[in-house]
């Protein structure tokens, strides 16, 4: 666990150019992590990601800091029970994270969706000629997010739409996000293979 004054993982970029004004973990992702995952915090007062990009950053930091509960709780609720917490934790621990680059944030796709294109950098050991040097790799992804409104209008929250979760839903069923629209006209557009 980083000290609160350490640079937040989502602020680290692997390029040679230093980021001019990085944020400490306590001022960046920690309030989101603590708000959803800390049992002593009142969930109604928990920090909510204002945008899909902010949620993406908090999720990246959760992977770096090995917080699988946060990864699960920020995935669309109907998909949460289908996630493997131990597998998420193992992958997060086994990955040598090196930084995050937000390539593009499209904040408004229709009424309630957004997309974030990002590169999550990590190091792998390159065994070329037995030199065992670390080599920088990137996981490049275009992720979809949906803003779900709770019973109270001010209870809107962004969630990640996980395309890897196998769900049995037809295109004509009500959408998995609870919007009331048909799946094919709502989240189905972003979960198609």
Q: d(Cα 131, Cα 129) in Å, to the nearest integer?
A: 5
Rounded Cα distance between 80 and 85, Å, is 10
Judged against a pLDDT cut of 90, whether residue 37 lies above it is answered with no
d(CA 124, CA 143) in angstroms, rounded, equals 23
pLDDT band at 66 (very low <50, low <70, confident <90, very high): very high
Binning pLDDT at 50, 70 and 90, where does residue 166 land? confident
Q: Count of CB atoms within 10 A of residue 103's CB?
A: 11
Residue 117's SS3 state is strand
Q: Please report the pLDDT score of residue 150 as a whole number.
A: 73
Residue 130 DSSP symbol: G
Q: Is the CATH code 3.40.50.720 the one for domain 9-191? A: no
Q: Is 46 helix (H, G, I), strand (E, B) or coil?
A: coil
Mean pLDDT of 70-76: 95
Between CA 120 and CA 116 the distance in angstroms is 12
* pLDDT tens-digit series, residues 135-157: 889 999 999 999 998 766 567 89
Q: Report the distance separating Cα 10 and Cα 22, nearest Å.
A: 9
1 vs 160, higher pLDDT: 160
Q: What are phi and psi of 86, to 5 degrees?
A: -65, -35
């Amino acid at each position: 666990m980083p000290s609160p004054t350490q640079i937040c993982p989502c602020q680290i970029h692997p390029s040679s150019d230093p980021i001019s004004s990085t944020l400490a973990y306590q001022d960046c992702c920690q309030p989101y992590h603590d708000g959803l995952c800390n049992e002593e915090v009142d969930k109604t007062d928990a920090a909510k990601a204002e945008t899909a990009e902010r949620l993406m950053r908090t999720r990246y930091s959760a992977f770096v800091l090995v917080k699988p509960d946060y990864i699960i709780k920020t995935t669309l609720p109907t998909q949460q029970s289908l996630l493997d917490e131990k597998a998420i934790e193992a992958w997060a621990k086994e990955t040598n994270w090196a930084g995050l680059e937000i390539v593009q944030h499209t904040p408004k796709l229709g009424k309630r969706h957004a997309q974030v294109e990002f590169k999550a950098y990590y190091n792998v050991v390159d065994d070329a000629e037995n030199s065992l040097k670390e080599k920088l790799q990137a996981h490049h992804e275009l992720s979809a997010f949906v803003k779900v409104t709770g019973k109270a209008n001010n209870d809107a929250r962004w969630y990640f739409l996980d395309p890897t979760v196998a769900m049995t839903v037809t295109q004509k069923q009500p959408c998995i996000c609870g919007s009331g629209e048909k799946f094919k006209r709502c989240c189905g557009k972003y979960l198609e293979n």
